[in-house]
Amino acid sequence: MRKIIHIDMDAFYASVEQRDDPALRGKPVAVARDASRCVVTTASYEARRYGVRSALSVATAKRLCPRLIFVPPRFDVYKRVSAQIREIFRRYTDLVEPLSLDEAYLDVTHSPSGKTATQIAREIRAAIRSELGLTASAGVSFNKFLAKVASDLRKPDGLSRILPKDAPAFIDALPVESFFGVGPATAKKMHALGIASGRDLRARSREELMRHFGKTGAWFFEIVRGNDSRPVESSRERVSLGIEDTFPRDAVGVSSCAEELRILARRLEERLSRANFSGYTLTLKIKFADFVQMTRARTRDRVWTDAEDIFRGAEKLLEEHLPPGRPVRLLGITISHAAPVAREEGAARVCGGNGQLYFDGF
């Protein structure tokens, strides 16, 4: 039986801002640039009472909570805090799999400390509080799926544990939306089939689930029985991260496309930062009105992280390759080739998906 911990920081960006500026404490705070085209990255729990959440437009957020205080994101600070959190995790195990800046799985089955998983989770939460002045929620269980569900149960600032003996009843009561792999479309399909809870899901045969959901059906069959053998992978490296958008109306010409590129570049910067990812290659994707698609890429010896820089790189590709007068329906930008993340060992080696090594003169 494995011992897995899932840790997720509470209102991460907003909590960091409230920690660093006492004037923001106890107030409804949204981390976002205060511009109509921007979206909220996250909201403090005070703001959530008004319905303000991640991904809401700034305009909607203001309508829901007129007193809302907007704070522009400081990604470099969040990254630093994220590294400090991981430092705390590594006191207990090297088997740490970060999912984003504020979230990670830990496998403490063989933790040398001899402590129980719950004890370790408690100590990690206490260390995050006393050393970093922030709160985290933790879930403890025997697989990733249940550990993650557990960390959400007593959020914010909570710790929950799902023991093997309690798992079946617990899973039975879960709404299907909570199952890993069930997005809005699958949830809708399940409801149409009369499957609303774990109990409903468990009542169906593997064959039936596979008939409706293909291979994923087999996964649902297992997971609803508490079988999730996905390992905690400490070395998982992302190889690319991209973003794309279809225009409401087709765009013609470099300047109207460039406007969209600027927005994409800004959103991509945020995503890169959240994933703590960067890379050496920028790929521009252009889909024309007739659905024919082309990609053009540029690789250089510095990584792409900054929105303005990404925008200029993409715009240059656009200028070089966009056929004049041809209507464009979609543009996308992808950054690829995992960059060496700053590690204390000073390792500059990173494997891309194809196993190649990339060096950046470190």
CA distance 275 to 232: 17
Confirm whether 319 is a catalytic residue: no
Residue 18 or 143: the one with the smaller Cβ distance to ligand TTP is: 18
Which of 3, 13, 17, 334 is close enough to bind ligand TTP by CB under 6 A? 13
Interface stretch with Mg ion, choices 96-104, 196-204, 273-281, 332-340 (CB under 5 A): 96-104
Residue 102 or 228: the one with the smaller Cβ distance to ligand TTP is: 102
Interacting residues of 254 by C-beta distance below 8 A, sequence separation 6+:
315, 318, 319, 322
Backbone angles phi, psi at 338, to 5 degrees: -55, 130
Is there a binding annotation on residue 102? yes
Which of 4, 5, 8, 43 is close enough to bind Mg ion by CB under 5 A? 8
CA distance 321 to 264: 18
One character per residue 31-70, x = contact with Mg ion (rule: CB under 5 A): ----------------------------------------
| 3-state secondary structure (DSSP) of residue 316 | helix
Instruction: Name which of ligand TTP, Mg ion, none residue 95 binds, using a CB cut-off of 5 to 8 Å depending on partner kind.
Output: none
Interacting residues of 114 by C-beta distance below 8 A, sequence separation 6+:
none
Residue 49 DSSP class? T
Q: Does 11 bind ligand TTP (CB under 6 A)?
A: yes
| 3-state secondary structure (DSSP) of residue 330 | strand
Site for Mg ion in 101-160 (CB under 5 A): 102
Residue 17 or 315: the one with the smaller Cβ distance to Mg ion is: 17
Of 103, 260, 270, 315, the catalytic one is 103
Which of 17, 46, 103, 315 is close enough to bind ligand TTP by CB under 6 A? 103
Beta bridge partners of 294: 286
Which of 5, 9, 134, 335 is close enough to bind Mg ion by CB under 5 A? 9
Residue-by-residue DSSP string for 240-304: EEEEEEEEEEEE-SHHHHHHHHHHHHHHHHHHHHHHT--EEEEEEEEEETTS-EEEEEEEEEEEE
Q: Two tokens at 186?
A: 């699958």
Site for ligand TTP in 41-100 (CB under 6 A): 41-42, 54-55, 100
Residue 186 or 273: the one with the smaller Cβ distance to Mg ion is: 273
Q: Which residues are catalytic?
A: 103
Please give the annotated binding residues for Mg(2+), written as ranges: 8, 102
Binding positions for Mg ion, rule: CB under 5 A: 8-9, 12, 102
